[in-house]
Amino acid sequence: MSIPERRVRTLFDEAAIAKRNDELAQEILAARPENLLVVAVLKGSFMFAADLLRALHRVGLSPQVEFVHLSSYRTGTVSTGQVEILRDVQSEVRGRDVLLVDDILESGRTVVFAKDLLMARGARRVLTSVLLEKPGKRAVTIDADFVGFICPDVFVVGYGMDAAHAFRQLPFVGVVDYGSGDPDLFDP
């Protein structure tokens, strides 16, 4: 794939994402988290998590931050169905409120896996925040506590999310224009 030849159509722009992060921070504050630990799921959520953490700071929350690196995609664009821990949380979660931050809730397997893992380790409660939700793709039963946007059933990139390690740097969420060869990309 020749990356420079591809155009990306904006789905959610910078301003909309920034506004929604501020709203999410208010929603999270209203949940009254105690001894909050934010756990960002790498790699896709890194931009969302960073912006959300700054928004949480602006509303008066001071969470600690951790990272877990989970994968069910590897180099493809479709989940393998198996979640693998590539980097584990190192902080103690026992008795704490944990906010699990992920880029997208699609099949739900990754979020359920991470939530179950943190609860098994003794978290008081695990709240979930996702930038994007694709409700029609759920393979397991889970609803995120905090959702940025409902996303059409398209493969998205940007704002931390990638296609074979490309496009993560984009400050917006978009859809790659592969031309007429893949009409489903633009069918929301």
Which CATH number is 86's domain given?
A: 3.40.50.2020
Q: Is residue 187 part of a domain?
A: no
- Residue 36 falls inside a structural domain: yes
pLDDT of amino acid 5: 52
Q: How many residues does the chain have?
A: 188
Distance, CA of 114 to CA of 126 (rounded, Å)? 9
Residue 120 lies in a domain: yes
- Predicted local confidence at residue 2, as pLDDT: 43
CB contact set of 57 (below 8 Å; sequence gap of 6+): none
**117 in any annotated domain:** yes
**Bridge partners (DSSP) listed for residue 102:** 130
CB 105 within 8 A of CB 144: yes
Going by their DSSP bridges, the two strands 97-105 and 37-42 should be labelled as parallel
Q: Give percent of the chain with pLDDT exceeding 70.
A: 87
Q: Total structural domains in the chain?
A: 1
- Dist. CA 147–CA 112, nearest whole Å: 15
The pLDDT confidence band at residue 183, using thresholds 50, 70 and 90, is very low
Neighbours of 100 (CB within 10 A): 26
Range of the domain at 152: 8-175
